[in-house]
Chains A and B, each alone.
Chain A
Amino acid sequence: MKHIKSLNVKLLQNTMTKGGCGECQTSCQSACKTSCTVANQFCESIK
């Protein structure tokens, strides 16, 4: 494309069927403790 560059084409929709195993880290355990940051976490099943 000439006018648009996409950084990622991996859709969130695609995680609906496979996701939800719950093996991932609880967000507050890393370095928040007073906020909630989820999007920076890793998925245990695809690492």
Chain B
Amino acid sequence: MIHKYNMNGYNIVLDINSGAVHVVDDAVYSILDYYENFSKDDIFKKLKDKFNKNTLEEAFSEIESLKNDKLLFSEDIYEPLIDQVKNRNPIVKALCLHVAHDCNLKCGYCFAQEGEYHGRRSLMSFEVGKKAIDFLIKSSKARKNLEIDFFGGEPLMNFDVVKQIVEYAKSIEKEKNKNFRFTITTNGMLLNEKILNFINENMHNVVLSLDGRKEVNDKMRPDMGGNGSYDKIVPRFLKTAQSRNQKNYYVRGTFTGYNKDFSEDVIHMAELGFKQISVEPVVCEPEKEYSIKKEDLPQLFEEYEKLAKKMLEMKKENKEFNFFHFMIDLTGGPCVSKRLVGCGSGTEYLAVTPTGELYPCHQFVGMEDFKLGDVDNGIVKPEIREKFENLNIYTKPACKKCWAKFYCSGGCCANSYNMNGNFLEPYEIGCELQKKRIECAIMLKVAQMDES
């Protein structure tokens, strides 16, 4: 399987099963339109008015050479690996700790209903957090690198417990031969110098929620009194970014149907001085006024392309920044085993509620049917985990034939479930946007190669 597209003047060809990326001239690009279904003679006849015979011969022979080297039209040989991946002893290596089911903002699109997650406002106790750490250590078996994400609601509403959990985990990691990496996601409303120092000393990554331009951010991210959060949080976030030497953090926003020109928001944050930026499309019921609709896709595709081109321009002006969704590692990146199964929700990655219940991921929290167990008893409903274990790019029919499968690994199963009521049918709008982001990400790599 190949995928080819033209962007920013480049003819780009992806060989899906090898992961190879090629930039080709018009002759090769045209031959590839027919290569799989027509004989060489027929292809040459079709293209004789566009290219001379010699060019076609050369181009054709280069295609054949790459094919022989398994860099073009390579076979999909990975399906048998699925059983190996599935047969591994199930381990848990990452927990999303919902330390606060409460929030001091009232974001319009919050999937957690202002932090309550279909339940009551509550805060995690240190006791529950400690049990979660113990559960993770036990369930991770020989795995060394473990991740804890402090999430909410707003985790800084329970900062003392965050601190205690970090201190506890660190106090035992050597003895248990583990390496904890902590992340905290915050809206910044309670961020102060003392907390920032603690974050910088202890957190591997910090995710700072900001949607972009003041009017865009404040429309969707007001406080309980209806006042915008932008003015309060931006100076704190800038300080955070600088204090971390512009590394190991993200300002992370959500764009909605209200700001379909979201590239302006990304650029705005870059111009404010942020170097690590992530902005994602909102996922919500289609009837919501701010939802992303199918008819919005052409405009959103244009926005992604516009953003990619703007990033190239800004790089030339030494105003380079990193956009999370355009990051791609073509020289290494994850192994194929990882790419077959994706994020690990419900298997390697679980969410823990303030009262210690375990769910497949933060997006399933509060959905009773998906409660896997709790930190006292571990996983008591393995049949739920099995559902997640069986998810991979070969069990999802649309993914199996999609060119992007090794880049997105089948997408977010919470999105599939929430939008389509099952895990096997991906969320189409999400897929279309994801594919566009991958195309842009690869184009940026091509441009980089071209410039060097």
Interface residues, chain A, CB within 8 Å of chain B?
1-13, 15-16, 18-20, 22-44, 46-47
24 contacts between A and B (CB under 8 A): A2-B58, A3-B27, A4-B22, A4-B25, A6-B22, A11-B20, A11-B74, A12-B18, A20-B335, A22-B143, A25-B145, A25-B147, A26-B94, A26-B348, A30-B183, A31-B250, A37-B324, A37-B325, A37-B408, A38-B408, A39-B438, A40-B441, A42-B329, A42-B333
Q: Which 3 A-B pairs have the closest CB atoms?
A: A19-B335, A20-B337, A15-B335
- Contact size range, B: 35 or more
* Pairwise interchain contact B94-A32, C-beta atoms closer than 8 A: no
Which chain B residues lie closer than 8 Å to A36 at the CB level? 342-343, 408-412, 434
Instruction: Determine if B19 and A8 form an interchain contact, defined as CB atoms under 8 angstroms apart.
Output: yes
Knowing A20-B335, A43-B333 touch, does A34 contact B71 (C-beta < 8 A)?
A: no
Q: CB-CB < 8 A to B18: which residues of A? A: 11-13
Question: How distant is A27 from chain B, measured CB to nearest CB, in Å?
Answer: 5
Contact with B338, one of A11, A33, A35, A38 (Cβ below 8 angstroms): A38
User: Interface stretch among B76-84, B188-196, B378-386?
Assistant: B76-84
Q: Is the CB of A43 within 8 A of B147?
A: no
Q: Which residues of A contact B183 (CB under 8 A)?
A: 29-30
Query: Are the C-beta atoms of A3 and B85 separated by less than 8 Å?
Result: no
Q: Is the CB of B24 within 8 A of A35?
A: no
Q: A25-B147, A40-B324 are in contact. Are A35 and B412 (CB under 8 A)?
A: yes
User: Given A3-B62, A23-B144, A36-B342, list of 20 further CB < 8 A pairs?
Assistant: A1-B65, A2-B62, A5-B449, A8-B19, A8-B331, A10-B19, A12-B339, A16-B78, A16-B81, A20-B84, A20-B335, A22-B88, A25-B94, A26-B348, A28-B96, A29-B205, A30-B207, A35-B281, A39-B406, A43-B333
Main secondary structure of the interface of B (DSSP, over half): mixed
A5 touches B23 (CB 8 A): yes
Interface residues of B in 300-332 (CB under 8 A from A): 324-325, 327-332
* Residues of B close to A43: CB separation below 8 A: 332-335
Q: How far is the CB of B292 from chain A (nearest CB, A)?
A: 12
Docked CA distance A29–B77 (Å) = 29
Smallest CB–CB gap between A6 and chain B, Å?
Answer: 5
Mask, B53-67, CB within 8 Å of A = 1, is: 001001100110110
Cβ of B275 within 8 Å of any chain A Cβ, yes or no, is no
Q: Are B24 and A3 in contact (CB under 8 A)?
A: yes
Closest Cβ of chain A to B193, distance in Å, is 24
A19 neighbours in B (Cβ, 8 Å): 334-338
Interface residues of B in 1-60 (CB under 8 A from A): 13, 17-25, 27-28, 55, 58-59
- For B130-160 the 0/1 string (1 means CB < 8 A from A) is 0000000000000111010100000000000
| B361 neighbours in A (Cβ, 8 Å) | 28
Q: B143 and A41: CB pair below 8 A?
A: no
Closest A residue to B349 by beta carbon equals: A26
Chain A residues with CB below 8 A from B280, complex form = 32-35
| Residue from A16, A26, A46 having most chain B Cβ neighbours under 10 A | A26
